Amino acid sequence: MVRKTVYTLVVIVLQMGEERVVFAREKPEVSVQYTTELQSDFGRRLNWVNLLSLRATVPMEWLGLWGNGKLEVQAISVYKTSRERIAGDRQVFSNIEEDNLPFSPFILGYSQQIGKVLLFGGLRNVNEDYFTTPYASLFTNSSFGIYPTLSANYVLANYPLSAVCLHLEYRINEKIGIKNSLYNGKAYLPFKRGSSVFTVAPRRDGLLDLAEISYTTNNSYHGTYNLGVVVHGSNRLGDASDCRLPSEQAQTETSSAKHWRVNYACWLSAEQECWRSGRYSAGVLGQYSFAPSDRNDCRRYVAAGGVFRGILSASREDALGVIFSQASFSDVRERALEITWNYTVSDHFTVQPAFHFIRTGNERCNIAMLRVVVSY
């Protein structure tokens, strides 16, 4: 009888402990990240770029409601000192540089986990779900974070823009996952006259869908392989990258015959850790994407590089990356080489210098930059 009582008490204590752990995980989370970057073209031009991001998640359980659901909110602010970019590259060497934007809702919606399925509805952006693999995320050139066959051909929900989205993720098993995101066919700035970031207008803007299947190696060596496609359909005459105001588009529609126009692009990416010895490790990555040449500005994109970790830090908190890319546009071919080194000083502080060597047609440009990230 005594043994049974003790056993019952132990079970109750363990269960209470589990409940406390679950409750701790389900508390609201708030994070702040500030990224500042100094750019130079080794000449007279300098630029200072700043990005502030605020993010919060509120679990439904914390509100006393159902489980496995949460409200997600993220807002960003962008500021730079130079109105003009210091380089005329098409791929954009800095993935945080944009026109000054005091405030923009980046994510605003609700997500629900149902078994192996994750559902989200609300404002979202493609940077949240695609192209953010561990190796690719090291580099600062925009193309390595989202391929120019997408960013140059569509006004999609790409930083700093967001759009209304229905997003789904399904894990087939530990290695294979599927994602699909259905967006309004065009993204808008939040406070631009005649437009709204909450726009849902498939008859005017069409619909844009991204789908991707990924494979992750399940062993001691990191490896990620992704195959994806984006499809945009619109029933109005004009290019998918048309940036006119809705009123201007409507005037064009009344004077032009409407027809359904479909555009697409496909991509493939792979990264694999190849060697590890103590604190040192090395891996390679490759990216490729293509789009039809008869309806797109950027037709081909290819990149290849390597990442080396643990060069100066015994805890592998630093990474050296080298990557080369080539993007073929309708009027010019651009080649870019990036060499960067990221060092995590502490849990809240990261320093990253980078060098960019760019050739756009016959024009050459060299850029040096220093990025610092502070997060809490």
Rounded to 5°, the CA angle 97-192-48 comes to 20
Instruction: Return the pLDDT at 80.
Output: 97
- Tokens representing 47 are 């630029």
φ/ψ (deg, to 5) at 342? -115, 125
φ/ψ (deg, to 5) at 348? -115, 0
Instruction: Return the pLDDT at 166.
Output: 97
Instruction: Return the pLDDT at 315.
Output: 65
CATH code for the domain of 88: 2.40.160.180
Q: Is residue 4 in a domain?
A: no
Q: Is residue 63 in a domain?
A: yes
Of 156, 153, 155, 149, whose CA–CA distance to 328 is shortest?
Answer: 149
Give the residue carrying structure tokens 């994510």. 107
Residue 36 belongs to domain spanning: 23-375
Of 125, 97, 91, 40, whose CA–CA distance to 323 is shortest?
Answer: 91
Instruction: Return the pLDDT at 316.
Output: 64
Of 205, 206, 114, 127, whose CA–CA distance to 168 is shortest?
Answer: 114
Q: Is residue 1 in a domain?
A: no
Is there a contact between 157 and 126 (Cβ–Cβ < 8 Å)?
yes
pLDDT per residue as tens, the chain (376 positions) = 434 433 333 332 333 333 333 334 578 999 999 999 999 999 889 999 999 999 999 999 998 888 899 999 999 999 999 999 999 999 999 999 999 999 999 999 999 999 999 999 999 999 999 998 999 999 999 999 999 999 999 999 999 999 999 999 999 999 999 999 999 999 988 877 767 889 899 988 999 999 999 999 977 888 999 999 999 998 654 444 443 333 334 333 333 334 568 999 999 999 999 998 888 899 999 999 999 999 999 999 999 999 999 888 666 689 999 999 999 999 999 999 999 999 999 889 999 999 999 999 999 999 999 999 999 9
- How many domains, the chain? 1
Q: Is residue 129 in a domain?
A: yes
Q: Is residue 18 in a domain?
A: no
Q: Is residue 7 in a domain?
A: no
Is there a contact between 125 and 108 (Cβ–Cβ < 8 Å)?
no
Q: Is residue 8 in a domain?
A: no
Instruction: Return the pLDDT at 235.
Output: 67
Nearest-angstrom CA–CA distance, 208 and 264: 9
Instruction: Return the pLDDT at 234.
Output: 80
> Strands, E, within 90-203: which ranges?
101-114, 117-124, 163-171, 176-184
Residue 135 per-residue DSSP state: T
Is there a contact between 35 and 76 (Cβ–Cβ < 8 Å)?
no
Of 135, 214, 211, 136, whose CA–CA distance to 174 is shortest?
Answer: 214
Instruction: Return the pLDDT at 195.
Output: 72
Instruction: Return the pLDDT at 260.
Output: 62
- Tokens representing 283 are 């891996």
- Residue 88, SS3 per DSSP: coil
φ/ψ (deg, to 5) at 317? -95, 15
Q: Is residue 329 in a domain?
A: yes
> Strands, E, within the chain: which ranges?
29-40, 46-59, 69-80, 101-114, 117-124, 163-171, 176-184, 207-216, 223-234, 261-277, 280-290, 298-309, 318-329, 333-346, 349-360, 363-375
pTM across the whole model: 0.84
Instruction: Return the pLDDT at 175.
Output: 93
